[in-house]
């Protein structure tokens, strides 16, 4: 046990710069944004520019963009992301990689639990400035689509990509498209998506 701990400590020191960046970008920054937005929402506010960005997106709607963002919203929704998470966790179990399966399941499941808890506690109403093409009835903050797709892509990326930007880039573009689709469709404020 002592040897393993010392080996782990040596590994951490050898990769400390990379680990510090991962910690900052993967944990500290997202939690900071989430906590800041949560406090603003609790005070009955949002981020500066929320309404302006929402109205800008609505002013630039077209039938082609409607179809594209409806598709992005659908594939980044709770059912497809849950199916993907269950299937990938099952593959990890089948391949006898229980630690990876636990990591993936807890990362995605934890994001879902945090999302439901934040919605229940803060109860932010959805934007209601026009009739949406994809109406929703649950609370707005944080965006479940944004949080779920980001959790799946990030957990998959950490397990599979390991620094390969050709793998990370499509995942990042997918998450951005899903997130922006929620603003474009008028069912979330930008701060909901950013916090998700």
Which residue numbers are catalytic?
Answer: 145, 188
Sign of the dihedral defined by the CA atoms of residues 30, 153, 147, 86, in that order: negative
Task: Examine residue 31 and say whether the peptide bond preceding it is cis (omega within 30 degrees of 0).
Answer: no
- Check: CB of residue 62 under 8 Å from CB of residue 82: no
DSSP 143-182: -HHHHHHHHHHHHHIIIIITT-HHHHHHHHHHHHHHHHHH
Alpha carbons 89 and 98: distance in angstroms, whole number = 9
């Amino acid at each position: 046990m002592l040897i393993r701990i010392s080996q782990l400590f040596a590994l951490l020191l050898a990769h400390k710069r990379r680990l510090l960046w991962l910690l900052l970008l993967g944990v500290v920054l997202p939690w900071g944004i989430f906590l800041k937005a949560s406090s603003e929402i609790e005070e009955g506010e949002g981020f500066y520019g929320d309404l302006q960005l929402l109205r800008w997106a609505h002013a630039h709607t077209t039938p082609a963009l409607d179809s594209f963002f409806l598709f992005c919203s659908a594939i980044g929704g709770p059912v497809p992301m849950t199916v993907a998470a269950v299937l990938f966790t099952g593959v990890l179990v089948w391949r006898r990689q229980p630690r990876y399966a636990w990591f993936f399941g807890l990362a995605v499941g934890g994001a879902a639990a945090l999302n439901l808890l934040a919605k229940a506690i803060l109860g932010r109403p959805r934007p209601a400035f026009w009739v949406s093409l994809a109406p929703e009835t649950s609370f707005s903050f944080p965006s479940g689509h944004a949080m779920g797709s980001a959790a799946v892509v990030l957990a998959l990326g950490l397990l599979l990509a390991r620094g390969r930007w050709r793998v990370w880039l499509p995942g990042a573009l997918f998450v951005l498209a899903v997130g922006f689709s929620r603003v474009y469709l008028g069912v979330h404020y930008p701060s909901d998506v950013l916090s998700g």
